[in-house]
């Protein structure tokens, strides 16, 4: 039996898709198509392939069935659902409506504008011909054959592309400085050392379209005059590393890497360097030290890497998203890229939308879009339906923006004005159940642990900040602690050697600025969000308690007493505040404050 003419099946096989059972779904399709006599990827009328992250990870496994250019997308697909899709949709031409994505899926994509992610989720990341089929490597051909390095620099400068790794430095300016350095040896490095908690932008791009990053590196290397490149990527990203290495091998076999690329005199090749998980190695000089085999620690700047970088030679470091933008700019023109975004923040930005959000996942939006549109129109609001309290942007080094400032545009300048940063693209949504003092403590705990220890302001200063926050969240705060946090934070920002220390206090300063009342409440022994364990008091509401005994049986400390079918009582002197009673009660009779 044959499938419908021009049938294509796409199965999400990014990390999220695989975790949700993507491999099993893929195998199930192979089995069912074979049983039906349909030889996928052999007969021209039916093709099936894996794709990278589709964005809306919350609905994985996502599957596309495209018949005669009519696409149907299915959500939450498991292997045992595949036989019905093959029988009813692929053979009988009737989509299985029960499993088709709904309005929230379409709303998630409606206000996005995909440049970097344009081909993620639609092409097979392990097939170089699929990338070539969507005009892949055409930009590299154009640059190597018909453009001078100076012309490429002008295109990138005119586009307004700024580094997407966090600092936002103009990419064209960086390339121009490196291009003008008089050195026989130069290097280009792709920084894929994505370490922010909850961030998965770079990983998803490499998993879904590694050739776009490679092509961007080829163009950048030609422009600055480098013949050697590195991709510094976290070893914790095994799928991304595997697909990257395959893409590099395929690029070499097809003449896009190596000597005499595309018949020109340009030589360039790329090595993969695995990082060991040090957050500080996201800082460019620490990254360089790691590649050189040294301990990953930053050094003072200047000189900047473009003058004195890897092994003392001029070096350009761009992150994954920055480089993946480059082929699109060359193909479509600087004016095209500059036509969206804001006056100073051009183009789009990829964000990992996580936290208390209904539609968590990977998004790409024009720079300047208001936070409100991201949270509500794309993200669907809070998952719980409770009131939104704040949005943390920029990862652990970013700031918390309160709900009453959701009309803030998302761009480099606007976020800086309100005490936050774009960063690499982390965006964590917090609702009314989040304690802002606890959140500041959480992020600072991460940056303090990841401090390399080289400079005193960061090594000791962040430790002192964390000690004060720990004390406050345990109800042992002192008068003047808030002011001490502010002063110490400002000193750390001013005196730290690198970006880690300079931005580590941001969560503390922004939460004090916008949620000072929560800090003051903690000094009075109360946690308004009822999160900080040592400040909680558990009690039973008599009018709701039917004496079922569930809380009594769950309590490990024996703090609950009461007769069967009569209201129970919690002895606060014995209670260890573990919350077991709260979780066990089905009648909402156990309360906390």
Q: Answer whether 516's CB lies under 8 Å from 409's CB.
A: no
- For the residues 276-292, what does the mean pLDDT come to? 93
- For the residues 340-360, what does the mean pLDDT come to? 94
Q: Would you call 444 helix, strand, or coil by DSSP? A: helix
CATH code assigned at 288: 3.40.50.11540
Pairing verdict, β 7-12 and 46-51 = parallel
379 burial via Cβ count (<10 Å: 0-12, 13-18, 19+):
buried
Q: Can you give the pLDDT at residue 366?
A: 97
Q: Which of 499, 523, 547 is the last residue of a domain?
A: 523
Q: Can you give the pLDDT at residue 444?
A: 94
Are residues 183 and 259 both part of a single domain?
yes
pLDDT value at 443 more than 50: yes
Residue 530 domain-assigned (yes or no): no
Q: What are the tens digits of pLDDT across the range 139-166?
A: 999 999 999 999 999 999 999 999 998 7
CATH code assigned at 418: 3.10.20.600
CATH code assigned at 45: 3.40.30.10
Q: Can you give the pLDDT at residue 2?
A: 46
Q: Answer whether 518's CB lies under 8 Å from 482's CB.
A: no
Residue 306 domain-assigned (yes or no): yes
Q: Number of folded domains in the chain?
A: 5
The candidate with the shortest Cα–Cα distance to 513, out of 550, 552, 485, is 485
For the beta sheet containing 7-12, the strands, ordered from the edge strand earlier in sequence to the opposite edge, are: 46-51, 7-12, 63-67, 70-74
Are residues 376 and 510 both part of a single domain?
no
pLDDT value at 227 more than 80: yes
In angstroms, the CA 303 to CA 547 distance is 71
Q: Can you give the pLDDT at residue 198?
A: 77
Q: Can you give the pLDDT at residue 401?
A: 95
The pTM score is: 0.92
The candidate with the shortest Cα–Cα distance to 190, out of 277, 270, 245, 261, is 270
Q: Which of 408, 431, 454 is the last residue of a domain?
A: 431
- For the residues 527-541, what does the mean pLDDT come to? 92
Q: What are the tens digits of pLDDT across the range 373-427?
A: 999 999 999 998 999 999 999 888 889 999 999 999 999 999 999 999 988 888 9
CB hemisphere CA count around 579 (13 angstroms): 10
Are residues 307 and 361 both part of a single domain?
no
Are residues 197 and 57 both part of a single domain?
no
Residue 110 domain-assigned (yes or no): no
81 burial via Cβ count (<10 Å: 0-12, 13-18, 19+):
middle
Q: Which of 431, 461, 481 is the last residue of a domain?
A: 431
Are residues 21 and 133 both part of a single domain?
no
Q: What are the tens digits of pLDDT across the range 198-222?
A: 788 999 999 999 999 999 999 999 9
479 burial via Cβ count (<10 Å: 0-12, 13-18, 19+):
exposed
User: Running DSSP on this structure, what letter comes out for residue 591?
Assistant: E
Are residues 163 and 306 both part of a single domain?
yes
Residue 117 domain-assigned (yes or no): no
Are residues 222 and 276 both part of a single domain?
yes
Are residues 315 and 182 both part of a single domain?
yes
Residue 352 domain-assigned (yes or no): yes
Are residues 227 and 281 both part of a single domain?
yes
CATH code assigned at 558: 3.30.70.20
Residue 423 domain-assigned (yes or no): yes
Are residues 489 and 372 both part of a single domain?
no
Residue 343 domain-assigned (yes or no): no
Give the rounded percent of residues in the chain with a pLDDT score beyond 70.
Answer: 98
Q: What are the tens digits of pLDDT across the range 51-107?
A: 999 999 889 999 999 999 899 999 999 999 999 999 999 999 999 999 999 999 999
pLDDT value at 188 more than 50: yes
Are residues 587 and 542 both part of a single domain?
yes
- Beta-carbon contacts of 51 under 8 Å, excluding residues fewer than 6 positions away, are 10, 11, 12, 13, 14, 120, 121, 122, 123, 124, 125, 208
pLDDT value at 42 more than 60: no
92 burial via Cβ count (<10 Å: 0-12, 13-18, 19+):
exposed
> Which H or E element spans position 426?
strand 426-431
Give the rounded percent of residues in the chain with a pLDDT score beyond 90.
Answer: 88
In angstroms, the CA 53 to CA 555 distance is 43
pLDDT value at 505 more than 60: yes
- For the residues 425-451, what does the mean pLDDT come to? 94
pLDDT band at 284 (very low <50, low <70, confident <90, very high): very high
Residue 548 domain-assigned (yes or no): yes
Q: Answer whether 436's CB lies under 8 Å from 425's CB.
A: no
The tokens of 342 are what? 């804001």
Are residues 237 and 147 both part of a single domain?
yes
- For the residues 501-526, what does the mean pLDDT come to? 95
Mean pLDDT of the chain: 93
* Domain interval for residue 45: 7-101
């Amino acid at each position: 039996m044959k499938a419908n003419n021009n049938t294509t099946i796409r199965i999400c096989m990014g990390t999220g898709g695989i975790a949700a059972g993507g491999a099993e779904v893929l195998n199930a399709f192979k089995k069912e198509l074979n049983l039906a006599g349909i030889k996928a990827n052999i007969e021209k009328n039916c093709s099936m392939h894996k794709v990278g992250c589709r964005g809306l990870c919350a609905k994985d496994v996502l599957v596309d069935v495209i018949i005669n250019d009519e696409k149907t997308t299915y959500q939450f697909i498991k292997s045992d659902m595949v036989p019905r899709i093959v029988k009813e949709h692929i053979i009988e031409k009737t989509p299985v409506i029960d499993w088709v994505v709904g309005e929230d899926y379409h709303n998630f994509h409606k206000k996005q504008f995909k440049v970097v992610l344009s081909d993620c989720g639609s092409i097979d990341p392990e097939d170089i011909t699929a990338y070539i089929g969507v005009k892949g490597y055409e930009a590299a051909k154009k640059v190597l054959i018909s453009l001078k390095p100076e012309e490429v620099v002008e295109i990138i400068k005119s586009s307004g592309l700024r580094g997407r790794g966090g600092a936002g430095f103009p990419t064209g300016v960086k390339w121009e400085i490196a291009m003008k350095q008089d050195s026989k040896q130069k290097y280009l490095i792709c920084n894929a050392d994505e370490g922010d908690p909850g961030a998965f932008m770079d990983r998803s791009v490499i998993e879904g379209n590694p050739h776009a990053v490679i092509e961007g590196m080829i163009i950048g290397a030609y422009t600055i005059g480098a013949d050697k490149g590195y991709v510094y990527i976290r070893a914790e990203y095994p799928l991304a590393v595997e697909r990257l290495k395959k893409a590099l091998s395929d690029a070499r076999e097809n003449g896009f890497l190596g000597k005499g690329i595309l018949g020109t005199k340009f030589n360039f090749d790329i090595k993969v360097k695995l990082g060991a998980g040090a957050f500080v190695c996201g800082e460019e000089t620490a990254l360089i030290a790691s590649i050189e085999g040294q301990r990953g620690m930053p050094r003072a700047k200047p000189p900047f890497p473009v003058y004195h970088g890897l092994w003392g030679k001029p070096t350009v470091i761009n992150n994954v998203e920055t480089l993946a933008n480059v082929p699109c700019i060359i193909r479509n023109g600087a004016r095209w890229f500059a036509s969206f975004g804001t006056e100073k923040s051009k183009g789009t930005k990829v964000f990992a939308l996580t936290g208390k959000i209904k539609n968590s996942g990977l998004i790409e939006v024009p720079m300047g879009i208001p936070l409100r549109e991201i949270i509500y129109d794309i993200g669907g609001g809070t998952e719980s339906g409770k009131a939104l309290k704040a949005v943390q942007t920029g990862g652990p080094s970013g700031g918390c923006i309160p709900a009453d400032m959701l009309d803030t545009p998302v761009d480099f300048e606007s976020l800086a004005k309100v005490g936050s940063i774009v960063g690499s693209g982390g965006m964590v949504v917090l609702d009314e159940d989040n304690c802002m003092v606890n959140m500041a403590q959480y992020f600072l705990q991460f940056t303090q642990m990841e401090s390399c220890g080289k400079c005193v302001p960061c090594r000791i200063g962040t430790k002192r900040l964390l000690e004060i926050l720990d004390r406050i969240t345990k109800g042992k705060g002192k008068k003047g602690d808030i002011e001490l946090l502010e002063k110490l934070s400002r000193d750390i920002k001013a005196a730290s050697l690198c970006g880690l220390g300079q931005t580590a206090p941001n969560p503390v300063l922004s939460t004090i600025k916008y949620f000072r009342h929560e800090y003051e409440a903690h000094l009075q022994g109360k946690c308004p969000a009822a999160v900080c364990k040592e400040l909680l008091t558990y009690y039973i509401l008599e009018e709701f308690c039917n004496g079922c005994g569930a809380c009594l049986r769950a309590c490990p400390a024996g703090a609950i007493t009461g007769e069967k079918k009569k209201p129970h009582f919690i002895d606060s002197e014995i209670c260890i505040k573990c919350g077991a009673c709260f979780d066990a009660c089905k009648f909402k009779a156990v309360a906390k404050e």
